[in-house]
Amino acid sequence: MSRTATPQRKALFTLIGWTIGLVLFFPILWTILTSFKTEVEAVTTPPTFFFFDWTFENYLAVQERSNYFLHAMNSVIISVGSTALGLLIAVPAAWAMAFSPTKRTKDILMWMLSTKMLPPVGVLVPIYLIARDWGVLDTRIALVVVLMMINLPIIVWMLYTYFKEIPGDILEAARMDGASLRQEIVSVLAPMAVPGIASTLLLNIILAWNEAFWTLNLTAAKAAPLTAFIASYSSPEGLFWAKLSAASTMAIAPILVMGWFSQKQLVRGLTFGAVK
């Protein structure tokens, strides 16, 4: 850093930082605030900010009508399951591509990414028919597999980028010092790759948690996760904004808390890569 950070400069950047942060967070804050209003208060113009009669009635109504824990449990199983399964496949794949690249590696990576370019609805009917024929409609296993496949290109790409930054020389040095393959992987490679794997894991759990196309289309009553729980409170005929906000708050709460706790890991993984 050649420029000195004067107090004014610092204050300015803090202010800008806070402003951007608040703007980004505002929709979530507004959802949370609305969830504590009555339905009439929720649609009043001009909208009330903090000075309204705070009420828990929406949370009670939502709790009474829906089985939140069933949906939350489905969300956890589907997001964690699909990410774990994805990592099992992606780690070896990315490892191979990063450390033993061939002249086709770049093409393969591009081809994998190209599967993300098709709008999901384009393959809805074939996937629905396969799920129907295999008898896995409205089961968690179908969603675990489908979401794993949807997110696999991202997982592979992220891991590939991290692994690529680990210098092959370090591994070679370990080998020169007489490390076995197991030692090489567990003691040398793994510690360096952990931040990358961890941030990939976290990001993909979040992606899978928020996925709302397949989770709505392949489920009915039994495997429906929190996305379906929110969708059941949206209505084109009737104002249920406060209840919808309460349902949304309940749906994002677990992932928000998880995000908070793992913030450091996420930011580090996303910004620095595997090796500084």
Partner 1 sequence: MTIRIRGLATGGLLTGALLATTSLASAETLTIATVNNGDMIRMQKLTDDFTAKNPGIELEWVTLEENVLRQRVTTDIATKGGQYDVMTIGTYEVPIWAKLGWLHELSMPADYDVDDLLPSIRDGLTADGKLYAAPFYGESSMVMYRTDLFEAAGLDMPDAPTWDFVADAARKLTDKDNELYGICLRGKAGWGENMAFLSAAANSFGAKWFDMDWNAQFDSPEWNETLTFYVNLMNDAGPPGASSNGFNENLALFQTGKCAMWIDATVAASFVSNPDDSQVADSVGFALAPDNGLGKRGNWLWAWTLGIPASSEKVEAAEKFIAWATSKAYLELVAENEGWANVPPGTRTSLYENPKYQEAAPFAAMTLSSIQAADPKNPTVDEVPYVGVQFVAIPEFQGIGTAVGQQFSAALAGQITVEQALANAQTLTEREMKRAGY
Residues that bind partner 1 (CB under 8 A): 39-40, 43-45, 65, 85, 88-89, 92-93, 95-96, 124-125, 128-129, 132, 134-141, 144-145, 181, 185, 216-217, 220-222, 224, 228, 231-240
Select 183 or 265, whichever has its Cβ closest to partner 1. 183
One-character DSSP codes across 51-80: -S----HHHHHHHHHS-HHHHHHHHHHHHH
- For the CB of residue 240, give the shortest distance to partner 1 in the complex, in Å: 7
Angle of helix 7-35 relative to helix 241-261, nearest 10 degrees? 140
Cα gap 210→81, rounded to integer Å: 14
Q: How far is the CB of 248 from partner 1 (least distance, A)?
A: 13
Give whichever of 83 and 262 is closer to partner 1, judged by the CB atom: 83
Write down the least CB distance from residue 24 to partner 1, Å.
24
> What distances in angstroms separate CA 217 from CA 54, 90, 94, 122, 176, one per listed residue?
36, 26, 31, 13, 54
Residue 189 vs 266, nearer CB to partner 1: 189
Q: Which CB atom, from 89 or from 108, has the smaller least distance to partner 1?
A: 89
Which residue's CB is nearer to partner 1, number 202 or number 224?
Answer: 224
209 contact partners, CB below 8 Å, separation of at least 6: 75, 79, 225, 226, 255
Beta carbon of residue 12, minimum distance to partner 1 (angstroms, whole number) = 36
Q: What is the 3-state secondary structure (H, E, C) of 116-139?
A: HHCCHHHHHHHHHHHHHHCCCCCC
Q: How far is the CB of 45 from partner 1 (least distance, A)?
A: 6
